[in-house]
Structure 1
Amino acid sequence: MTSNAEIADFLRANMGALNERMGVELVEITPERVVATMPVEGNTQPYGLLHGGASVVLAETLGSVAAALNAPEGRFAVGTDINATHHRSATKGLVTGVATPLHLGRTMASFEIAITDEDGRRVCTSRITCALIERDPTPKG
């Protein structure tokens, strides 16, 4: 895979079991902006609120996809750090995450991920840093 379109198509088709289980859907994939939605239902903690860990899963997915799109030729992204601040709860509907670049380097990339509810209110702000390493990402075996 060499073009951003090929990478985006691959990632859209290979979201992985966790993202599929959580209902994460990529809706926009460009190097400048990656957007996905996730249902609150099925991703709640015992009080019926969106689980903070679910927000982090959404954020890591978005940041990793964005890093992959921005990785220089011959490099791929692996997460090295993520944090999240939870601002308010969500109890129903979809949340939407938007990843935008903070730093794009040859060996490191960082992104801010803003997660909002259906009313556009910020639920969570996350930041992820990915190392862009030289290695064949194709699974062996």
Structure 2
Amino acid sequence: MTAALPDWATSLTSALDTAMGLELLEASADRVVGRMPVTGNTQPYGLWHGGASCVLAETLASIGASAHGLPDKIAVGVDLNATHHKAVREGWVTGTATPVHRGSRVATYEVVLVDDRDVRICTARVTCQLIPRPTGGGS
């Protein structure tokens, strides 16, 4: 994680994000940038796994939608569409999420994933529902 991130952003990554090596680089309602290493996130043929693209895209979009919902709402993903354009075998995949729509109940982000040469490898669209922030302890 980058030290320049806002305090609210540092709590929004999950154990899955950590296991996959996510590095969150920038976070706001207008733009979220993060990256993951190809190493450790490949399918059996040694290529970047399409599921890793989906994890990266949904994480970045959810962080953007959460920023939009601050301070009273949180974001939960309800739709994910990803088109895989090109294979990657090494290096890093960097994603940038930007808003397509930000409403009071739903936020949609486009996420563009690129390789180290800035070649687009995946385009995703993620829609999140904005729900009231839970209060209390509950189980």
Q: TM-score, normalization: structure 1?
A: 0.89
Aligned residue in 2 for 1:85: 83
The SS at the match of 2:6 is helix
Residue 63 (structure 1) aligned with residue 61 (structure 2): yes
The SS at the match of 1:64 is helix
Aligned residue in 1 for 2:28: 30
Report the CA distance shift for 1:99/1:82 in structure 2 as closer, same or farther (over 3 A).
same
CA apart distance, 1:72 = 5.0
Quote the Cα distance in structure 1 between the aligned partners of 2:55 and 2:136.
Answer: 23
Report the CA distance shift for 1:123/1:137 in structure 2 as closer, same or farther (over 3 A).
farther
Structure 1 gaps of 5+ residues are none
Identity of matched residues, %: 49
Report the CA distance shift for 1:94/1:137 in structure 2 as closer, same or farther (over 3 A).
farther
Structure 2 counterpart of 1:6, one-letter code: D
Structure 2 counterpart of 1:34, one-letter code: V
Aligned residue in 2 for 1:48: 46
Residue 119 (structure 1) aligned with residue 105 (structure 2): no
Structure 2 gaps of 5+ residues are none
CA apart distance, 1:73 = 3.7
Give the alignment's Cα RMSD to 1 decimal. 1.7
Structure 1 counterpart of 2:122, one-letter code: C
Structure 2 counterpart of 1:82, one-letter code: L
The SS at the match of 1:8 is helix
Indicate conservation of the 8 Å contact 1:76/1:137, yes or no: no
